[in-house]
Amino acid sequence: MNIQLIRNATLIIRYGGQTILVDPFLAEQGAYPGFPNTANQEKMNPLVGLPVPVADIIKADAVMVTHLHPDHFDQAAVDLLPKDMPIFAQSADDAETIRKSGFLNVQTFEAPAKLGDITLFKTGGQHGTGEIGKLMGPVSGIVMQHYDEQTLYIAGDTIWCSEVAEAIGTYQPQVIVVNGGAAQPLGADPITMTKEDIRQVHKAAKYATIIVCHMEAVNHCLLTREELRSHVSDQGLASKVLVPGDGETITL
Ligand SMILES: [Zn+2]
């Protein structure tokens, strides 16, 4: 498989003969205000531009949307993606919302679902703790299995939690994509993974390659790539926990 980080949680994955666009957040740099009541809310999102032409990003065979927060499926994605693009959503509710934007070919990855010879499974997650976690609404991850590929688990916007541990236990993925950045609401716990969370993922799946995205692209993500890279290197985990830059492709 090839996994190209575009920006934030937006990925282009070549897997099992398909090109899959995950969590398209396609606006130009600075198109939206910062998330209210979060760290650095005065900064405009996205903090950085797209590293490749948007025309290349939207050429996918299918799109997968882990949840509908605007840093995962934004107005630019609604405007730019062809309306007949196959889209997989986490739930019937999300699928209906996406259909209301004019998309004609929307299904869920709940069932499990199939895309060509790839089987998709939905996994759970927690987008924060306590009241903030509830306020953030349901989030999901996606597991992909194919007879010619290693099992891939995209955890989505979640902290380390029992749902992530369960997904690792159930599917034994060799490749795990997690959303780092330690996104920080004001006065609450982070809503995406911290470096400690990422170490927990590693402890639960020591055999796996972990790819960390959702870094340095939206206002409230405080964990930088430099800090995470030096942390994983201090822990002797630099070969197991990869922290790609925007536009970088990892082949596994
Ligand atoms: Zn996010």
Q: What is the pTM of this model?
A: 0.97
Q: Let me know if residue 181 belongs to a domain.
A: yes
Q: Is there a domain that residue 249 lies in?
A: no
Whether 251 maps to a domain, the answer reads: no
Tens-digit pLDDT profile for residues 163-208:
999 999 999 999 999 999 999 999 999 999 999 999 999 999 999 9
CA within 13 Å, CB half, 103: 25
Q: How far away, in angstroms, is 157 Cα from ligand 1 center?
A: 6
Tell me the residues surrounding ligand 1 (ion) with CB < 5 Å: 71, 157
Which residue, among 246, 128, 121, has the nearest Cα to 197 in the 3D structure? 128
Question: What is the token pair recorded at 5?
Answer: 């980080």
Q: Quote the ligand 1 centre to 92 CA distance (angstroms).
A: 20
- Does residue 61 lie within any of the structural domains? yes
Residue-wise pLDDT for 69-110, tens only, equals: 999 999 999 999 999 999 999 999 999 999 999 999 999 999
Find the helix packing angle between 195-204 and 162-171, rounded to 10°.
30
Percent of the chain with pLDDT over 90: 96
* Res 158: pLDDT: 97
Give domain status of residue 7, yes or no.
yes
147 CA to middle of ligand 1, Å?
A: 30
Distance from the alpha carbon of residue 189 to the mean position of ligand 1, in angstroms:
15
CATH number, residue 73:
3.60.15.10
**Ligand 1 geometric centre to CA of 8 (Å):** 7
State yes or no: pLDDT of 111 exceeds 90: no
pLDDT tens sequence across 2-35: 999 999 999 999 999 999 999 999 999 999 999 9
The answer to whether residue 250 is domain-embedded is no
Q: What's the CA-to-centroid distance between 219 and ligand 1, angstroms? A: 11
State the residue range of the domain holding 51.
2-242
Q: Please count the structural domains in the chain.
A: 1
Q: Does a structural domain hold residue 96?
A: yes
**What is the predicted pLDDT for the residue at 112?**
87
What is the Å distance from ligand 1's center to 236 Cα?
A: 28
Quick check: is 252 in a domain?
no
Spatial distance between the Cα atoms of 215 and 223, rounded to a whole number of angstroms: 7
